[in-house]
Amino acid sequence: MTGMGTDHRPALAIVGATGAVGTVMRDVISTRPDIWGEVRLIASARSAGRLLPVRGEQVEVRALTAEAFDGVDIAMFDVPDEVSASWAPAAAARGAVVIDKSGAFRMDPQVPLVVPEVNPTEISNRPKGIISVPNCTTLSMIVVIGVLHQAYRLRELVAASYQAASGAGQAGTDALYDQIAAVAGDRTLGQRPGDVRAAIGDGGPFGAPLALNVVPWAGSLRPDGWSSEELKIRNETRKILGVPDLRISATCVRVPVITGHSLALHAAFEAEVDAEEARKLLGDAPGIVVVDRPENAEYPTPVDVAGTDPTMVGRIRRSQDDAHALDLFVCGDNLRKGAALNAAQIAEALI
């Protein structure tokens, strides 16, 4: 770190500061320990000149240019893949360590894909000056899976995700609220073919109505009927755990939730497992909260995890048919740990 801030603490840039994750990032930076000198806000030229709050101050947004990174020690990027692909190397060339939330570099063998609770030693292995942050769905489960993998050695994972509308960006959040408003108060809806579609009209970014419904699709189409979100879970988990041939299958589903991705997991291990031991391991691990008393209706739900940092895990059971397998349910805030918090943790570890 070159320590270019005016008070000799490191200077931080938030690129994409006006977006949904950028907004959460400004909140995360404002509420975690204040280790930064200057915090520079960078966005597209149309947002330049806006004043945005961070650390209790109004900071003017700068346009995204190469010169905007002069004197910056760490640059956190939350922008589309094509923007990161162009501008992250430019920021690194100006001397900043880039922490990138996009998918542009996740599978690049010269760019570490880091979750500080799982593979912190990878932070120092960054020949391109770039560190990548996993997809928000992967991040909603990987801290839990990392603890169990360390104890029992994961050999196979089957995941079904229940992904919030905000995973599709602000457009997704707005669309779900609009759809809820369109169906609110009509108790006849959802009982006949086509009635919800007729009430809502265009499904927006989900391809189908999300209110009063679930949509078994998230991401873009990939070969053989898979979605990009499903392949991200597979490929990113393999890279983070360092097991390139790990057997993983995922089905991604969009659900009418604003914030918080959930996953139902069936994890099979090399060693025999014990549910109570797994509960204790997870309860003792940083970044995880165990909520697992179904007899008292206590289990993880997205409305309980929204706006919080930890991953919640519950419904922890040993498989009835396999003494080496656990079934469990996890929830994480897809905008906090799923994006902003993980980037902040990496930045703090760099310092």
Q: Which amino acid is at 165?
A: A
Whether 62 contacts 44, CB under 8 Å: no
- Distance, in Å, from the CA atom of 68 to the CA atom of 87, rounded to the nearest integer, reads 11
Paired tokens of 47:
């947002």
Which residue is catalytic, options 136, 149, 252, 331? 136
Which residue reads 């009209």 in tokens?
201
User: In angstroms, what CA-CA distances link 160 with 133, 218, 267, 343?
Assistant: 21, 12, 12, 25
Per-residue buried b or exposed e for 156-194, using 16+ beta carbons within 10 Å of the residue's own CB: ebbbbbbbbbbbbeeebbebbeebbebbeeeeebeeeee
SS3 state at 321: coil
Which residue is catalytic, options 149, 252, 261, 331? 261
149 catalytically annotated:
no
261 catalytically annotated:
yes
Q: Which amino acid is at 150?
A: Q
Dihedral (CA of 96, 309, 209, 216) sign: positive
Centre a 10 Å sphere on the Cβ of residue 86 and count the other Cβ atoms it contains.
12
List the catalytic residues: 136, 261
